[in-house]
Structure 1
Amino acid sequence: MVDRNGMMIEEFVQCCSGCILVSEPNIQPISRIEMPNKPWKKIAIDFTEVPGGHHLLVITDYFSRYIEIVIMASMTAKNTIVKLREIFARFGYPTEIVCDNGQPFSSEDFSKFCFSNGITIKHTVPYAPFQNGLVERQNRTILKTIKISVTMGRDWKTDLQDFLHTYRATPHTTTNYSPSELMFGWNIRDKLPEIKRTVDIKKQKKMTSVQRKKEEIHVIVKILIKKNKLTTTFNPEEHVVIQREGTRLYLKNLETGVITNRHVNHTKRVVNNNPLINTAHEKVSNPENNHKAEMVREPLNIEKFNESRLPETSEKNLQSESSQKRPHLFSERRSKRKICIPSYLNNYHCN
C-alpha cells in the first residue's frame, strides 16, 4: 500500500519499534519428531510436584509410550541419579534422554552420569515445555488421577499404581498396541476378563424429547478459583437447572437452596444425579464391530510395526502420484462443450 507521498505504509508499520514490542510472537507450526525404531532407545523425563512435599519422577518411552513413575521426597541430582540407576538396571541404558533445564538435569553430576553410560542429553529450550510434550501430557493425566483419588478420599499412591497397571495393559490410540506389548513383546494381565458382552439395544435408546422436558437436569459447577493442583475442576455440590436463557443457566443448590446463574460452559451434567458415582455405559456395537473384536490378532512384529508406523514416502513419489491423478480428475469435472468459430472470423482462414 502506497500513500500520497509514495511511502510504503505497510513497511513503515512493520518497522515501528513500539508496534513490534507489543505484537504477538511468531508461532511456528509443530514439526514431527523422528521416532525411534525400538523400545527404550529414546526416553523423556520430567518432574511434577504433588502438594504434600512429594515429587514424581516421570519417565516415558517414545517408542512404546511405556511410563515409569518414581515417588521422591526431594528432586536433587544425586537422588535422581540413584533412582535412574534402579530403572536402567531393569530396562538398560537408553541412547537419548529428553529433559528440561531444571536443576537436577542441568547439574554436572547428571551430565557425568549420562556421559559415562553413553547417553546423549537433549535439553529443551527454556520456557518451552511443548518441546517435551510427550511427558508433559503424561503429567497432566497423572495429576488428574491423583486429583480424583484425593477427592474420593482414597490413598493416591495406591490408585497411582492401579492407573499405571491399567495404562500399560490398554492399547494406545496412536500405536494400536498396549505399552507393555511394545515394550516387552507380550501384554501384561489385568483384571478385565476376556468374555463376550451382550448389549440390550432397547435399553440403550435415547430418551424422547417429551421425557427430556419432564426430566430435571442436575449439574455441577466449575471451580473458577483453585487453591492448588489437586483442586478438582468442578464442585461436587449438585445444582438443578431452574431456567435457561440462551447460554445463561439459573441454578438452585440442592443443599443450601441458593439460586445462582452461571454460563453453560461452566457447568457439567451429572449422570444418575451423583457426580461421585462411576457409572459404566456400554456402547452399542453393530455385528461388524463384534466380529472384529472376536478376531485373533497376529503376534507383534517390530519390523512390520515400524514399516506401518513410519511409511517411507519420498517427494518424487508424491509428485508422480499427484500428477497421475490430476488429469483424471479434471477430465471428469470439465464440461464438454462444442467450440464454434465466431461469426466475425468467417471471412478469414483459421488454422
Structure 2
Amino acid sequence: MDLFVWEKKTYLVAIDYFSRYIEVAYLQVASTETVISALKNIFARHGVPVTLMSDNGPQYASTLFKDFASEYGFTHMTSSPRYPQANGEAERAVATVKGLWKEGGDYAKALLSYRATPLENGYSPGQLLMGRQLRTTLLQVPKTLTPCWPNIKQLRSRETQGKQKQEKYYNKHHRTHKQPELHPGQTVWITTENTHGTVVNQTAAPRSYLVRTGDGLLRRNRSHLRATQQPPPEPTSGEDTVSDSENQLAAVPEDAYITRSGRRSRPPKRLDL
C-alpha cells in the first residue's frame, strides 16, 4: 500500500495510490503532533503503508516524524520542492475533495458517494481497497454487497498499460524527452534560484538532486537543473572581493552577454542600410 499525504490549511488529505480511496482528517493546528495523530487513526483503519509520500512541510521534516516513521516501519518520501507535477496524485485528491464539498451539505455523505462510485476501471475505491461495495443511501441489490475481490493482478496490468499509453501520448504532444542524468561535481544552472551550483548526489526520490550553491545545499528536480560548463560562484566575504559573476562579465566583450544557462552570446552583425 502506497499512501500520498497532503496537508491543506486545516485538513489532511490522504489517498491510496492503487485504489484512489481518499481519507480526510480535520486538524485544529497544522503541527507535527496533530499530523501524526491523524495518520495513526488512518493506519488503525487501513493498516500501515509501505511508502508514504508527502510535501516538504515542516511537519514532515521534524525529528518527531522521523521517529514515527521508524516506529511504524514505513518509508517516508517527499516530493521535489517547487515541482507541482510531482504532487499530481495528492493535488488531484485535494481538488476532488474541494469539488465534493463545494456546495456544502453533509461532507461525510459526499465522501461516501465518492468512495462507492465506480472509477474508469469499473470498480469503486471502496471495492478496490476492501473487496466489497459500500452500502450507501441509494437503493442497492443485496447481492452487490457480497464481498467479491476483483482480479487484482489483471487490473494492475491494465492500469499500468493505460498509464504507459497516456504517458506516450503526453510526451508526443508536448515533445518531451528524457533528460540525461547528472553526475556529482557537475556544474548546473538552477532555474528556480537563477544561480549556478554543483551537483552533490542524486537522492532516493525520482529525478531529484542535491545541489550545492553559495548559500548552501538545495534539493531540486531534474527539470530545474541545466547542465553548463560555467564554474559556480564561490561564497565570498569582505568588501574588497569581487564575485565570479562580476569577473565573468568583465571578461565578456562589450557587445556580448551571458545567458541564463551560462553561455556567452553575441548579437549578430547586421548591415546598417
Q: TM-score range by the shorter chain?
A: 0.5 to 0.7
Residue 130 of structure 1 corresponds to: 85
8 Å CA contact 1:100–1:129 kept in 2: the answer is: no
Residue 110 of structure 1 corresponds to: 65
Structure 2 CA distance for partners of 1:310 and 1:125, relative to 1, 3 Å: closer
SS for the counterpart of 1:148 is coil
Structure 2 CA distance for partners of 1:76 and 1:166, relative to 1, 3 Å: same
- Choose which of 127, 138, 146 in structure 2 pairs with 1:192: 138
Residue identity over aligned pairs, in percent, reads 32
1:45 is matched by which residue type in structure 2? Answer: V
Residue 182 of structure 1 corresponds to: 128
Residue 43 of structure 1 corresponds to: 3
Matches within 5 A, 1:83-94: 83-94=38-49
Structure 2 CA distance for partners of 1:58 and 1:190, relative to 1, 3 Å: same
CA–CA separation in structure 1 for the residues paired with 2:122 and 2:14: 21
SS for the counterpart of 1:101 is coil
CA drift of 1:299 comes to 5.3
8 Å CA contact 1:42–1:96 kept in 2: the answer is: yes
CA–CA separation in structure 2 for the residues paired with 1:299 and 1:42: 19
CA drift of 1:176 comes to 2.3
1:170 is matched by which residue type in structure 2? Answer: T
1:179 is matched by which residue type in structure 2? Answer: P
Residue 157 of structure 2 corresponds to: 307
CA–CA separation in structure 2 for the residues paired with 1:100 and 1:160: 25
Residue 167 of structure 1 corresponds to: 114
The count of aligned residue pairs is 157
2:7 is matched by which residue type in structure 1? Answer: F
TM-score, normalized by length of structure 2?
0.53
Structure 2 CA distance for partners of 1:194 and 1:117, relative to 1, 3 Å: closer
Residue 52 of structure 2 corresponds to: 97
8 Å CA contact 1:130–1:136 kept in 2: the answer is: no
Residue 60 of structure 1 corresponds to: 15
* Structure 1 portions without partners, runs of 5+: 1-40, 50-54, 196-297, 313-351
CA drift of 1:191 comes to 2.1
TM-score, normalized by length of structure 1?
0.42
CA–CA separation in structure 1 for the residues paired with 2:130 and 2:34: 27
1:193 is matched by which residue type in structure 2? Answer: L
CA–CA separation in structure 2 for the residues paired with 1:69 and 1:142: 8
CA–CA separation in structure 1 for the residues paired with 2:37 and 2:140: 40
8 Å CA contact 2:5–2:90 kept in 1: the answer is: yes
Encode CA deviations 1:82-133: one digit per residue, 9 max, x unaligned.
1211211121110111111011111111111112222111111112232121
8 Å CA contact 2:100–2:110 kept in 1: the answer is: yes
- The answer as to 2:25 corresponding to 1:70 is yes
CA–CA separation in structure 2 for the residues paired with 1:145 and 1:94: 26
CA drift of 1:301 comes to 2.0
CA–CA separation in structure 2 for the residues paired with 1:78 and 1:194: 41
Could you list the structure 1 runs, at least 4 aligned residues long, displaced by more than 4 angstroms after superposition: none
SS for the counterpart of 1:109 is helix
CA–CA separation in structure 1 for the residues paired with 2:149 and 2:18: 18
Residue 147 of structure 1 corresponds to: 102
Larger radius of gyration: 1
CA drift of 1:194 comes to 4.5
RMSD: 2.2
Encode CA deviations 1:22-73: one digit per residue, 9 max, x unaligned.
xxxxxxxxxxxxxxxxxxx111001112xxxxx1110000000001111111
Deviates more, 1:101-110 or 1:300-309: 300-309
CA–CA separation in structure 1 for the residues paired with 2:125 and 2:61: 29
Structure 2 CA distance for partners of 1:302 and 1:126, relative to 1, 3 Å: same
CA–CA separation in structure 2 for the residues paired with 1:95 and 1:193: 36
8 Å CA contact 2:128–2:149 kept in 1: the answer is: no
Matches within 5 A, 1:275-294: none
1:303 is matched by which residue type in structure 2? Answer: K
CA–CA separation in structure 2 for the residues paired with 1:137 and 1:147: 15
1:118 is matched by which residue type in structure 2? Answer: G
2:127 is matched by which residue type in structure 1? Answer: E
